[in-house]
Structure 1
Amino acid sequence: MQPLLSPHLLAWCLLTTTLLLPASLADQIPFHRQQPLSTKGPIKEIPQVGLGLWNSKDEDASNAVEYAFEAGYRHLDSAAAYGNEDFVGRTLGNSSLSPHRHKYWITSKLWNTAHQPKHVRPALEKTLHDLQVPYLDLYLMHWPVAFLPGQKPGRTVVDQDTSVHDTWAAMEELVRANLTRHIGVSNFSPRQLDDLLARCDIRPWAHEFETHPYLQQQEFVDWHRKNNITVIAYSPLANMNPTYSDKYPDLPHVLDDPFWIDLAAEKNVTPAQAILAWGRQRGTVVIPKSVHRDRIEENLGSLKVSFTEKEMLKIAEQDKRSRFNNPSKSWGVELFEGLDDGSSRFMANEEVQACGRVGEN
C-alpha cells in the first residue's frame, strides 16, 4: 500500500519546533523571513507567501498542498467556490498532519449563495468538514454580492434583500463561536469598504483583491496598510492564469515582459520570483497558484529577493491598469467602483475611525 504522505511530508508532520526542508532548497529559501513556528499557539502573523488553490482540480489540489508543505509553505488560500476543498482536506486531514494545525495558516471564503445569515455558519461548517480542520485562520466574504440560494451552476440571480451588513453580522458570530480567528472581505470597492467600516462591530482583518504589476493600485494598497487591514493579492502573477487569456491580448504574459525578464536577470532570480518579491515589498501578501512542484518551490524562493527604492519606482511605471477578473457584466452589478473609473474616490490619505476591534478572536 502506498503511504498517504511522501517521506518528506511525513517528516515535516513529526517535527514540533522546526521545519524539515529538502536539502536542495536549504540554501535557497530563508524561512526566517516568515513567522517562526510555535508550539504554544497558532501563527499570529499571516505568512507572506501562500499557495493559491483557485483552478486547482481535484487530485491536483491535494498534490499541490503536499508539494507546498514539503517545500516549506505554511499558508493555503482556499474557497468553497473553488470546488476542491474536500480534496485539499485529504492532505490536511491526514492523522500525522492534523496535530500540527497550529503551525499553518488557512484562509477560505464564503460564496455568494450563502450570504443570507441563516446560511453563513452552515457554509463555514461545511468548509471545515471538507478541509478536515477544526477552525480557520481567516474567513472572507468572497464578493460583496449576494445570490439567491439554491441556484443551478452558471445561474446568478442577485438577492436584493440580503445586504453586506446582514452577512457581515453573521460572520462576526463565527469569530465569537471560535470557528475562525479572523474575518475579512474580498473584491470590495472603496465605497463598499466605507459603508462596512462605518457600521460593523468587528472590523475586517484582511482584504483580498486582484493586484499585480499590471494592476498596481498602490494608493489603495497603502490605504489598507495605514488602516491596519492586511492586503492579500490574488493573481499576483497577473495574466499567467489561462482563465485570463482573452483579456488584453496585446499585453504580454507578465513572465514574458522584457522589463521583468531584465530585472530578474539583474537579481539572478526568475521573473516569477522577482514579481512576487515586489508584491511582498510593496505591502501585500501574495498567493500564487500552481500545481507543479518545481513552480511551487520556485515561488517560495521569492523570499530571498528585495529591491532598492529606485527599482521600486521603475516598477511603478509599469502599471497598465488592467483588471483581469471582473464579473460585473455577467452578474448585473457594479464592482470596483472608484478603482477602475479614474475617480480615485477612496480614503487614501485618511485613517478610518470606524467600527470596533479588528476581525479576530
Structure 2
Amino acid sequence: MNTQTLNTGSQMPMLGLGTWKIDKSQCADVIFTAAQAGYRHFDCACDYGNEKEVGQGLKRIVDEGIATREELWITSKLWNTYHARQHVQPACEKTLSDLGLDYIDLYLIHFPIALKFVPFEDRYPPEWFYDPQAESPGMVTEAVPIRETWEAMESLVDAGLAKNIGVCNFGVSLIRDMLSYAKIRPSVLQIELHPRLTQEKLLRWCAQEGIAVTAFSSFGPSSYYQLGMAEKSDSLMDHDVVQRIAKETGKTPGQVLLRWAVQRGTIVIPKASSEKHLQENAAIFDFDLTKDQMSGLSALNQNRRFNDPGHFCEAAFNTFFPIYE
C-alpha cells in the first residue's frame, strides 16, 4: 500500500476506507472484507455511529492474522460537543473503547464548531441537536476557543492515546492561528476535495507547511443524493470529461477520480460496501493520468461544496451556521 510520510515521521496509507454511512448491520463484515482486499487504513468518527461495529471488524482482522494492529491505520474524530478541555480525553477514550484499541493512529477535530456538551449516558453519538425532543430543536453552541481544544488534543499524544493529531474542515486562517501556539503541529487536514472543489490554494499552503491532506467525497456529489444535498445532474461519474478519460485509461470513472486525487498528493478515503467496489477503489496505483487529463479534470472546478454547514445546518438542524465564509 502506498503511504505518505507525515510531519511526525508516521507512514499514513494513501488509500483508506471511509466508514460514513456504512450500515451497522454490515459494517464489521465490510471492514474485514476490505482488509482482505488490502486495505490497512480505516477512517472513522464518533458521529458515524458505527465505531463499535468497526471495532468488531478490526478484531477479526487481527484475530485471523490478516494484519497486525501495528500494520493498521485507524483515524477517528472528536465530535463538536466534546471541544471543552475536560471532554476531549473522555471522548477519545470512548472511541478507543468502541474500536477495541489502546491508541488511535490519527485523531482529528471533526469541525471548527463547538456545541454544548451532551453526556454519553444521555445520547451517543450526540449528533447536532442539543435536545431533539424540544419544541423547536436546534444546535446550541458553546464558547470554546480552538486553542483550548487543540491543547487538549496535544495531551492525548502525551498520554499515548493518539499517535498523530489534526483537523477537518478547517481553512488556512484557522490553521495559521493554530500554528502560532501549537506545541504539536497538525499532521493532517481532512477536507472535501474533488474536481468540482479543487482547493488549489489550500493544497499548496498545506504542502508548504508540511501538513498532509486527506480528501473526502472524492466522487463529488455521490454521497449526498439520498440526503437531498445534491442532484443527479451534479454527477461527476457521468460527466463527459470523466467518462472520456475513463475510456482512454481503460479504468472506471471512480478510479479516474481517485487517481486524480492521489496524483495531487492527497490521501483518499472512498466509502464502499461491496467486495467489487472495494477492489475497484484499491486499483488506482497501477496507472497515471497525463498532464492534459489532470488539467481537464481540474478545469471542472466550480468551488462547489456538497458538505457545507452553511447550508445543511439550517436545512436539517434549524440553525444557520456558516464556517467557510
Please state if 1:124 is matched with 2:92.
yes
| Alignment partner of 1:70 out of 33, 36, 42 | 36
Q: Is the 8 A contact 1:225 1:283 kept in 2?
A: no
Q: Is the 8 A contact 1:187 1:210 kept in 2?
A: yes
Report the TM-score, using the length of structure 1 for normalisation: 0.78
Q: Is the 8 A contact 1:273 1:298 kept in 2?
A: yes
Please state if 1:236 is matched with 2:222.
no
Q: Shift of residue 240 of structure 1?
A: 0.9
2:102 partner letter: P
Q: Give the stretch that moved more between structures: 308-317 or 83-92.
A: 308-317
Please state if 1:175 is matched with 2:175.
no
Please state if 1:84 is matched with 2:67.
no
Q: Shift of residue 182 of structure 1?
A: 0.3
Write the deviation string for residues 294-336 of structure 1: whole angstroms up to 9, x where unpaired.
1111000112221122222222211122100011252433312
Counterpart in the other structure of 2:103: 135
Report the TM-score, using the length of structure 2 for normalisation: 0.87
| Alignment partner of 1:56 out of 16, 22, 40 | 22
| Alignment partner of 1:156 out of 139, 151, 164 | 139
Whole-Å separation in 2 of the counterparts to 1:97 and 1:164: 41
Q: Is the 8 A contact 2:195 2:297 kept in 1?
A: yes
Please state if 1:274 is matched with 2:241.
no
Q: How many residues align?
A: 300
Whole-Å separation in 1 of the counterparts to 2:43 and 2:78: 13
- Residue 304 of structure 2 aligns to a residue whose secondary structure is coil
- Residue 334 of structure 1 aligns to a residue whose secondary structure is coil
Gaps of 5+ in 2: 119-129, 314-318
- Residue 137 of structure 1 aligns to a residue whose secondary structure is strand
Counterpart in the other structure of 2:287: 305
RMSD over aligned CA atoms reads 2.1
Counterpart in the other structure of 1:200: 182
Q: Shift of residue 92 of structure 1?
A: 1.2
Counterpart in the other structure of 1:332: 320
- Percent identity at matched positions? 36
Q: Is the 8 A contact 1:93 1:133 kept in 2?
A: no
Q: Is the 8 A contact 1:264 1:274 kept in 2?
A: yes
Gaps of 5+ in 1: 1-30, 36-42, 338-361
2:320 partner letter: G
Please state if 1:96 is matched with 2:88.
no
Please state if 1:220 is matched with 2:235.
no
